[in-house]
């Protein structure tokens, strides 16, 4: 028994040290890894720990479990974020509390297993794992907390499918944590699920401060009346809101509204003493600056802002305050870049425009790669909402945007839509010869997996 106590003490010391050093260590130095942008290895480590604990009689005496726990701590130190830290701390806490209870331990392992299956886009295996956990265990407060933190992690890491399937598995059983059922699940339905299912949450979700999605969702679902109503609510609470642009038909009215939006951005910036992009990126307001600028037709600045923010986020990908919006930043940069290319073409800089388009296409390929880690969690909103609602409404469709649209449709598996988009871009007959050749090749091959003109080719 004395030996047992000593080992517990050692374990505690090791974990404390690991946790302690996490606050002062080199987390910020951890570089962004495009091959594991969300650092999925984290989940696997959780599973290693919980599985080892599950099969041991007393995991606090089992070296495999302890080592796995320590690895998890080390990973937290390397790439800790507030939501991962919360999740792991909670996991360790309940693991310590229930170490005498094999059923609970097994339930925890199943939940982690389900999470990994979801993050690997394996819906069936994940739901199966969740079904194996009894209602009693799921209903425990500490387990509810675990699920809550896990789904929060999914939400922040763009794992919308995970939340969708957690919701689908738990809400019918009445065992979903509140945040999942009221916020994360509807959001997932909106982004990667069924927009109609989301509509039932449209008026209640997110609270009144975040009305963009309900409004656009209503528009996408064809419920213009609802959209109008929500918008008028929104206008009341926040006059300088973005979705209002969707309801303003005349360019003059749009421009006038934009003035207000941009002034809002500037005002927020002016509050900062140090007017750098870094400072800008640290304020949540600026996150929308690239979007605002894009909507308001300031494409070059919008692209700059988006790219800068993308780099900024990647550079602190493991910071405590990490946010994983770089995919959104990419998409914003691509959209604004496509209009920038249009502008350049119309200004007579035909070659520069072609180069810009080349850059954008390269970026599209990059973002599709990154987005594939979330199961293309963003592509629907970009194609169906950003392009379909905002872009065409505000700036019209251009050949360059059609090129992007085609690539995204191709990624969603709609090859014929993609080919149509490229063909439409060709018929406008304004693109640089380099792109005419490329698009013809794409159309002929019914695929963009033909590269005649890479950025490096000459």
Partner 1 sequence: MNVIFMALIAAGLLFWLAPLVRRLLDRLSGIERNQRVSVLITSLILRGVAVGLMAMLWLGLNEFRQTVPATTKARVDVLLDLSESLVHADAPDLETYLRNADRLTDQIVSDLGVPAEVNRRVFAKGSRSVGSFNAAAAAIADIGGDSTDLSAVIAETLATGAGSPAQAIVLMTDGLTTRQGARDDTQITQVLQLLAGGRVPVLVVPQPGEPGFRLAKPDDPRFIIGDDQSLSLLSQGDLEDPLIATPIDLAIKPQDEQRVAYLGALQGDKVQDLFRFTCLDGDPAGTAAIIIDERVDAVSCTPLILDQEGEGSFVQMTVKLDNNPEPVPDTRFAEPRLPDTVQSRMVPTMATPQVLWLDGGAQPIALIETIIEELNWNIERVVPSDLPRRTGIDATQPLDLFDYDLILMTDFAPGEIGDGLTQQAILGEIEDFVQRGGGLFIAGGDETFGVKGYAATPVARVLPVNVEPKGSSGDPKLLAVGVLDVSASLFYEEATMDRAVRYIVESFAPLSDGSLVRVFGFSDEVHELVPLDTFQGVEDLENQIRDSLALLAEEFERRRLIGLQPEGIDIYDALAETRRSLVMAEEAGFELPDERRVLIIADGGDADTGAYLSWKVDEDGIFQRDTAPSLAARLNSDDDFIINGIAMAYGETSLPDIYEVLNSRDPSLRQRAGIASEGFNNLFSVAEAGGGIAYLDRFQIPIGQLARRMISYKDERIDDPQFNTRHRFLYDLPAQEMGLGAINGYSILSARDEARFIMGQQDYQPEQGRPLDLALWTDWVLKREPDSSAEGFIERAAVGGRVSVLGTSLRDGGQDNALTANAIFQVALARAFAWATRTNPRDAIELSLTRDARNEVLLALEHRSIDPFAPTGFSVELYGYEEAETDLAEGSTRARGTLINQFELIGSESRWTGNLGSIRDLPEVFELVISGTGTDRQGRSRGFQKPGVVRPAYLHLATEPLALDAGANLVALQAIARASGGVVLDPANLQVPGALVQLEQSGTRDRVWDLTWALVLLILIALVADYLIREYLSEAEA
Q: Which of 24, 35, 178, 284 binds partner 1 (CB under 8 A)?
A: 35
Tokens of 271: 């509050």
Q: Are 228 and 209 in contact (CB under 8 A)?
A: no
Asked if 20 touches partner 1 (CB under 8 A), the answer is no
If you search the block for the tokens 């191709």, which residue do you land on? Answer: 410
Cα–Cα distance measured from residue 407 to residue 394, given in angstroms and rounded to the nearest whole number: 21
Q: What is the DSSP string of 155-188?
A: HHTT-HHHHHHHHHHHTTTT---HHIIIIIHHHH
Contact 447, 428 (CB under 8 A): no
Closer Cβ to partner 1, 206 or 355, answer by number: 355
Q: Where are the beta strands (DSSP E) in 245-391?
A: none
Instruction: Find all residues with CB under 8 Å of 307, minimum gap 6, and list them.
Output: 329, 333
One of 6, 23, 34, 196 touching partner 1 (CB under 8 A): 34
Out of 89, 144, 228, 315, the residue judged to bind partner 1 by CB under 8 A: 315
For partner 1, give the closer residue by CB, 144 or 272.
272
| Closer CB to partner 1, 163 or 305, in the complex | 305
307 vs 378 by CB, closer to partner 1: 307
311 lines the binding site for partner 1 (CB under 8 A): yes
| 451 interacts with partner 1 by CB under 8 A | yes
Are 404 and 431 in contact, with CB atoms under 8 Å apart? no
Answer yes or no whether residue 276 interacts with partner 1 by CB under 8 A: yes
Cβ-based neighbours of 457, under 8 Å, separated by 6 or more: none
Helix axes 82-97, 141-156, angle to 10 degrees: 160
DSSP symbol at 32: P
Give the range of 43-51, 171-179, 273-281, 373-381 binding partner 1 by CB under 8 A: 273-281
Rule CB under 8 A: choose which of 84, 113, 187, 308 binds partner 1.
Answer: 308
- Residue nearer to partner 1 on the CB measure, 37 or 186: 37
Q: Is 366 in the site for partner 1 (CB under 8 A)?
A: yes
Applying CB under 8 A, among 32, 83, 128, 206 the residue interacting with partner 1 is: 32
Query: What DSSP assignment string belongs to 299-327?
Result: HHHHHHHHHHHHHHHHHTTTSTT----HH
Q: Which of 75, 165, 196 is nearest to 375 (CA)?
A: 165
- Select from 13, 17, 362, 437 the one that contacts partner 1 (CB under 8 A): 362
Select the span of 162-170, 391-399, 418-426, 450-458 touching partner 1 (CB under 8 A): 450-458
**Tokens encoding 204:** 């209640």
CB of 150 to partner 1, least distance (A): 28
CA–CA separation, 57 vs 387, rounded Å?
A: 56
> How many residues belong to the site for partner 1 (CB under 8 A)?
37
Is 14 a binding residue for partner 1 by CB under 8 A? The answer is no
Minimum CB–partner distance for residue 75 and partner 1 (Å) = 21
Q: Which two tokens stand for residue 343?
A: 């502008």
Query: Which residues, 81 to 120, sit near partner 1 by CB under 8 A?
Result: none
φ, ψ of residue 276 in degrees (nearest 5): -110, 165
When the beta carbons of 95 and 286 are compared against partner 1, the nearer one is: 286
- Is 413 a binding residue for partner 1 by CB under 8 A? The answer is no
Cα–Cα distance measured from residue 245 to residue 254, given in angstroms and rounded to the nearest whole number: 6
Centroid of chain to Cα 312? 16
Q: Does 441 bind partner 1 (CB under 8 A)?
A: no
Phi, then psi, of 251 in degrees rounded to 5: -55, -35
If binding is defined by CB under 8 A, does position 273 make contact with partner 1?
Answer: no
The residue from 78, 279, 397, 417 that contacts partner 1 (CB under 8 A) is: 279
Shortest separation between residue 330's beta carbon and partner 1, angstroms: 10
Residue placing its CB nearer to partner 1 in the complex, 324 or 448? 448
Alpha-carbon radius of gyration of the chain: 24
> Distance (Å, rounded) from C-alpha 289 to C-alpha 102?
51
Cβ of residue 45: shortest distance to partner 1, in angstroms? 23
Write out the binding residues for partner 1, residues 332-361 only, by CB under 8 A.
Answer: 351, 355
Where does this chain bind partner 1 (CB under 8 A)?
Answer: 31-32, 34-35, 265-266, 269, 272, 275-277, 279-280, 286, 289, 301, 304-305, 307-308, 311, 314-315, 351, 355, 362, 365-366, 368-369, 448-451, 455-456, 458
């Amino acid at each position: 028994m004395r030996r047992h106590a000593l080992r517990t003490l050692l374990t505690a010391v090791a974990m404390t040290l690991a946790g302690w050093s996490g606050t002062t260590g080199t987390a910020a130095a951890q570089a962004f890894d495009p091959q594991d942008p969300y650092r999925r290895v984290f989940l696997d480590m959780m599973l290693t720990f919980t599985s080892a604990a599950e099969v041991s009689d007393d995991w606090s005496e089992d070296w495999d479990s302890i080592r796995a726990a320590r690895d998890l701590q080390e990973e937290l130190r390397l790439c800790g974020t507030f939501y991962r830290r919360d999740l792991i701390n909670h996991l360790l806490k309940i693991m310590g509390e229930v170490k005498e209870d094999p059923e609970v331990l097994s339930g925890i392992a199943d939940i982690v297993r389900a999470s990994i299956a979801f993050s690997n886009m394996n819906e069936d295996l994940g739901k199966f794992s969740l079904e194996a956990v009894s209602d009693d265990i799921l209903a425990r407060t500490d387990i509810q907390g675990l699920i809550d933190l896990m789904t929060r992690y999914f939400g922040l890491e763009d794992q919308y499918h995970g939340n969708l399937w957690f919701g689908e598995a738990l809400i019918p059983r009445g065992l979903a944590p509140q945040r999942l059922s009221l916020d994360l699940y509807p959001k997932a339905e909106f982004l990667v699920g069924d927009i109609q299912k989301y509509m039932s949450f449209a008026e209640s979700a997110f609270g009144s401060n975040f009305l963009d999605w309900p409004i656009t969702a209503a528009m996408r679902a064809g419920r213009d009346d609802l959209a109008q109503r929500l918008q008028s609510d929104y206008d009341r609470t926040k006059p300088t809101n973005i979705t209002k642009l969707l309801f303003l038909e005349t360019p003059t009215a749009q421009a006038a509204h934009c003035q207000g939006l941009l002034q809002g951005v500037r005002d927020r910036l002016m509050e900062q003493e140090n007017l750098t992009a870094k400072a800008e990126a640290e304020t949540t307001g600026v996150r929308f600056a690239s979007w605002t600028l894009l909507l308001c037709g300031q494409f070059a600045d919008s692209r700059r802002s988006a790219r800068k923010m993308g780099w900024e986020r990647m550079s602190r990908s493991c910071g405590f305050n990490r946010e994983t919006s770089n995919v959104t930043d990419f998409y914003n940069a691509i959209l604004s870049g496509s209009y920038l290319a249009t502008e350049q073409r119309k200004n007579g800089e035909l070659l520069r425009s072609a180069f810009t388009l080349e850059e954008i296409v390269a970026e599209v390929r990059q973002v599709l790669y990154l987005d594939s880690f979330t199961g293309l969690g963003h592509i629907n909103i970009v194609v169906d909402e950003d392009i379909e609602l905002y872009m065409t409404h505000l700036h019209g469709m251009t050949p360059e945007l059609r090129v992007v649209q085609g690539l995204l449709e191709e990624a969603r598996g709609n090859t014929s839509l993609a080919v149509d988009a490229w063909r439409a871009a060709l018929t406008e007959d304004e693109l640089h010869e380099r792109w005419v050749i490329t698009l013809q090749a794409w159309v002929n091959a019914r695929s963009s997996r033909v590269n005649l003109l890479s950025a490096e080719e000459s």
